[in-house]
Amino acid sequence: MKIALGSISEDKKKILTDVFLEFNINPDIVGVEIDPLIADQPLDEEMIIKGAFNRAKGALSRVRDCDFSIGLEGGLSLVEDNYFLVCVAIIMDNEGRKYIGLSSKLSLPKEVSERVKQGEQFGQVIREFGKDNRKNRDILPVITSLIKRDVAFKEAITNSYLIYKNKNHY
């Protein structure tokens, strides 16, 4: 299976490969650099979805003979005055139909959310928060998930692929 990935990120390529290996598919992933045409730090689901769509559409137009393309985008979504991390995967088939998969939302620690609201970059803030709280064993799994995002991206990809494979029901 040949997949066009709207990113040249080795992390995203590995995450995508891992998901498809779980489906017993050894994918040929062709990563291409695509501008998602959104802010570097999207702060609402609409923008995250738009970024994933732009990546999938761009990759589909640039990679020949692929089975489908996929765009991956992560960002933050404000829920009841606190930010949550959410990841989106969009598969686009050769007819231009899209299949959207979202991850679960993972709440940011209040301190991190407040700093993001003040305009600071999430990646920097969560790493500083992690350093300051590395002895707190209860918060470490949350911090690791927020920094790596691999679990959230895997969930979004799996959801998107399952919809794609069962498209006659969608």
Q: Contact at 8 Å (CB) between 97 and 82?
A: no
* H or E segment to which residue 77 belongs: strand 68-79
Among 18-27, 79-88, 132-141, which is the least confidently predicted range? 132-141
Print the domain residue range for 130.
2-169
* H or E segment to which residue 20 belongs: helix 10-22
Average pLDDT, the chain: 96
pLDDT in tens, 73-122: 999 999 999 999 999 999 999 999 999 999 999 999 999 999 999 999 99
CATH number of the domain where residue 19 is located: 3.90.950.10
Domain count, the chain: 1
At residue 30, the 3 state secondary structure works out as strand
Q: What is the residue whose two structure tokens read 């040929």?
A: 28
